[in-house]
Amino acid sequence: MGGCVSMPENCVGGGIKSSKVKVKLKLRRRRKALKRRVSSRLYDQSKAPPSGDAPNSHGSTDDLWCDSTSILESDCSDEDFQSFSDDGSEAVSWPHIGSLRDGEAHRSSVHPEQMIFQSSIDENAGRENGIQSSSRKKAAFKLSFKRNDEHTNPTIIPSKIHIQRPIAGSQVPFCPIDKKMIDSWSFIEPQTFRVRGKDYLRDRKKELASNYAAYYPFGVDVFLSQRKIDHIAQFVKLPDVASSTGDVPSILVVNVQIPLYPAALFGGEIDGEGISFVLYFKLSDCYSKELSSQFQDNMRRILDDEVEEVKGFRVDSVVACRERIKILGRVVNIDDLQLNAPQRKLMHAYNGKPVLSRPQHDFYQGENYLEIDLDMHRFSYISRKGFGAFQDRLKDCILDFGITIQGNKTEELPEELLCCVRLNCIDYMKYHFLSLDHVSS
């Protein structure tokens, strides 16, 4: 009668409770032993059966292809999977597993060890399928990125066709100045630009330029590129135009190289995906009559890449005459751009301000042409960031572009225009890549 006090496990209530504790401990030991066995048996994938294979009838892991790490990481807490039948015997419920691989709707009572093996297979198969699917997606993405990287930037430049040695000026159509047509170019009068006046060195005033330019536009091209294209005149068909003067090229090519990748503050790239706005100009028939002799002399010195002495505050220095090339740019339709107050203030403050292209320019000469490459890839971080914020609005802008030779002496004033053109709302993403396979002899 008193045996129940010292031996509670022999009593009905105490025996059930003790049995439950023993089962819990037994299950925990089995799980630990299983983990040790699985961890010690890593199989080569070449010996693995198909993913649909199940363990043998004894629950052995010898034929399993599984990752021990995955199994250990997928273990759930004891409370998630342990339960007992009404009669106190061992039973395990796995509500989180769902159905078996063979399509069973659910599990009710299965031996714990077999259940652990089966859950390992199910979870490992799920992980394996997920890993394989993820690997396939990553591989496909890498392949797609590699293919895109060979031709285009997948995030900035869409896939485009490559055109080989097009006729210069055949990409962007011409539009008369009094008409409105997007994606076009127009003539513009040189006198619409303000330049250094005759008395600029004394009164620092600017005035409208004379209505003559050394070169007049005959075409505009826009090309996409994975890397900036230097000396782009080699890859297009320039017209065969004889020069009216023996010492001045009949054609001027201006290649404005614009980056499409973000600017970096320190040690950034100076080459990458971008666009080239290529402007073509023909020498004026009245070049010798309309342009001053001083301008013509400066032009000759630029062509011959001469140097000159510049007086400084402390010491004099010798610089190339080409360092005096100056860019004139103006957005005509600021009010149409829907800028906020700070942007509008900034635009009005700097719109039309001339900029010396040095040292971000290069010069190339051919049989009948001079090419000037204006390399914005090499602009300063601040300039790049400022233009980058404005870049998406290029397709909405009417831009007047001109080039002059800066006058540093009284006899070189007033300044005169080398060339000028208007660009009407050009959306550069509509244009194509330029093939670099052909180089003219």
**Closest by alpha carbon to 102, among 52, 146, 147, 152?**
52
Show the tokens assigned to 24: 């819990």
Tell me what pLDDT residue 276 has. Answer: 98
Tell me what pLDDT residue 344 has. Answer: 87
The answer on pLDDT for 46 being more than 50 is: no
Q: Could you tell me the residue ranges of all domains in the chain?
A: 3-148, 153-435
- Rounded Cα distance between 109 and 90, Å, is 9
The answer on pLDDT for 215 being more than 90 is: yes
Tell me what pLDDT residue 310 has. Answer: 85
Place of tokens 């402390």: 314
The answer on pLDDT for 129 being more than 70 is: no
Whether residue 433 contacts residue 218, with contact meaning beta carbons closer than 8 Å, is answered with no
Angle between helices 112-151 and 12-39 (to 10 degrees): 40
- Rounded Cα distance between 332 and 420, Å, is 14
Query: Confidence class of residue 392 from pLDDT cuts 50, 70 and 90?
Result: confident
The model's pLDDT over 279-316, given as tens digits with 9 standing for 90+, comes to: 999 999 999 999 999 999 999 999 999 999 888 777 88
**Pairing state of beta strands 398-405 and 417-424?**
antiparallel
Whether residue 206 contacts residue 194, with contact meaning beta carbons closer than 8 Å, is answered with yes
Query: Confidence class of residue 18 from pLDDT cuts 50, 70 and 90?
Result: low
Place of tokens 């890397």: 227
Query: Confidence class of residue 204 from pLDDT cuts 50, 70 and 90?
Result: very high
**Closest by alpha carbon to 360, among 374, 380, 344?**
374
**Closest by alpha carbon to 326, among 165, 208, 140, 195?**
195
Among the residue ranges 84-93, 246-255, 351-360, the one predicted with the least confidence is 84-93
**Cross-strand partners of 400:** 330, 422
The answer on pLDDT for 24 being more than 50 is: yes
Sequence-distant (≥ 6) Cβ neighbours of residue 148 within 8 angstroms = 154, 159
The model's pLDDT over 65-77, given as tens digits with 9 standing for 90+, comes to: 333 333 333 333 3
**Closest by alpha carbon to 73, among 120, 122, 29?**
120
Tell me what pLDDT residue 339 has. Answer: 86
Identify the residue with better confidence: 284 or 105.
284
CB-based burial label for 205 (10 Å; 0-12, 13-18, 19+): exposed
Among the residue ranges 133-137, 272-276, 350-354, the one predicted with the least confidence is 133-137
What is the residue-averaged pLDDT of the chain?
Answer: 75
Identify the residue with better confidence: 272 or 47.
272
**Closest by alpha carbon to 277, among 374, 387, 380?**
374
Q: What would the mean pLDDT of 358-373 be, rounded to a whole number?
A: 95
